[in-house]
Amino acid sequence: MEIRELTPDHLDAVLDNRTRAFGPLSASDAEAWRVMVTPMLPEGRYLGAFDGARLMGTARVNPYTQWWHGRPVSMGGVASVTVSPEDRGRGVGGRLMHAVIDRAAELGHAVSALYPATTPIYRSLGWEHAGAQYIATLPAEALRTLRGGADVKLRRMGPDDAPEVIAVLNRVYAATRASGPLVADERTWRGWLSEEDDFCYLADDGYVTYHWSGRDIQVDNLVAGSEATARALWSLVGTASSIVTSVRACVEPYDPVLWLLRERSKDEVAQTRWMFRVIDLPAAVAARGYPAGASIDAVVEVEDPQRPANSGLWRLRVEAGSGSAARLRSAAQHAAPRFTIGGLSALFAGVPTATLRRTGRLCGGSPDSDAALDTAFNCDPYMIDYF
């Protein structure tokens, strides 16, 4: 078995593998997929496992920025992980994901995230459950009545508005100290804004993209930096209430719309879980944001068999919203808490130390060190995009 970068000549075989893994695509969707992935090929973002000339499996590393407590971190979004049915159970997926970890590091990504079809293989290689994509079912009529944004100017948007959408996202995620949501590059956003079946509207501090799903509406993205813009965008979606009963929407865990609704007694929110991995420990800790009041100086030990550069003793410091990780040579003077790389990745994503201890991902240390780490890394991560 050999892991190689894919080229345009492989795309027919890749599409066949993808169809066998996830089901068939329409002709238009297959063409959109080719347009999306072709620019990634010369960047080395699409890997294949080969038996001679025969393609056995694939994995892609998408270029994203992921926000953590209001600061951007370079993130490799792992997607299109496939293994041909006749090659499953032969270690192809494991070899591919080992290569993905190395490639993500080579591409400069400090962290990685993925939506798993199955947990065990990814967990065995250091990814751990972190956050979710939250999908709420909302009454269309209740959205229609969310007036109050009359002074908010909305306009239709298309591919040329991609830079402005990215700028809006960056401003809102920084201001709200968001953790987890991603921002795609301009190339990707141009593709998303070219979807013929989507309706897209832009404001100065927010936007919405949505489409019809049967007789209901699916809101893919709605981001607002103010109450007025939130009301204007949600009420725009609700104007379809004469036909639509329900709106399914990707939302934040504490999305403002849940507090703007006049009546709320029971939430109908589904979750699609995503997993997370630290790729470059010192780079990830330095890029992440932290609560302004958190102050820690702690030593931790990390075990990362797939990426030994992350293994060993680290001195973690957090002060005034910024963090750093410096390697230490000896553990002689330290009773350091010991993390698996999955445990450290989960801590980074806000999973409490009490959970990590009771699942074997953290041992050693002291209650004081646990409390300090929980304070520094506390967050409630989410994504509104699926990839």
What is the reported pLDDT for 331? 57
Question: Are 263 and 297 within one domain?
Answer: no
Instruction: Write down the mean pLDDT value for the chain.
Output: 96
What's this model's pTM, rounded to 2 decimal places?
0.95
Do the domain assignments include residue 58?
A: yes
Q: For residue 385, tell me if it sits in a domain.
A: no
* Among candidate residues 126, 150, 177, the one where a domain is terminated: 126
Q: Is residue 382 part of a domain?
A: no
| 182 plus 116 within the same structural domain | no
Per-residue confidence at 150, pLDDT binned at 50, 70, 90? confident
Instruction: Specify whether 119 is located in the same domain as 28.
Output: yes
Q: Residue 263's domain spans which residues?
A: 134-272
Residue 385 — very low, low, confident or very high, per pLDDT cuts 50/70/90? very high
| pLDDT at residue 148 in the model | 78
Domain count, the chain: 3
pLDDT of residue 164: 98
Residue 91 placed within a domain? yes
47 and 70 part of one domain: yes
Task: Say if residue 330's pLDDT is above 80.
Answer: no
**pLDDT for the residue 36:** 94
How confident is residue 70, by pLDDT bands cut at 50, 70 and 90? very high
Residue 323: give its domain's CATH number.
3.30.1050.10
Where a domain ends, among 249, 272, 295?
272
* CATH number of the structural domain spanning residue 62: 3.40.630.30
Of 84, 107, 126, which residue is a domain's last? Answer: 126
Q: Are residues 106 and 198 in the same domain?
A: no
pLDDT tens track for 230-278: 999 999 999 999 999 999 999 999 999 999 999 999 999 999 999 999 9
pLDDT at 332 over 60: no
pLDDT in tens, 160-191: 999 999 999 999 999 999 999 999 999 999 99
Place of tokens 């229609």: 144
Asked if residue 23 is part of any domain, the answer here is: yes
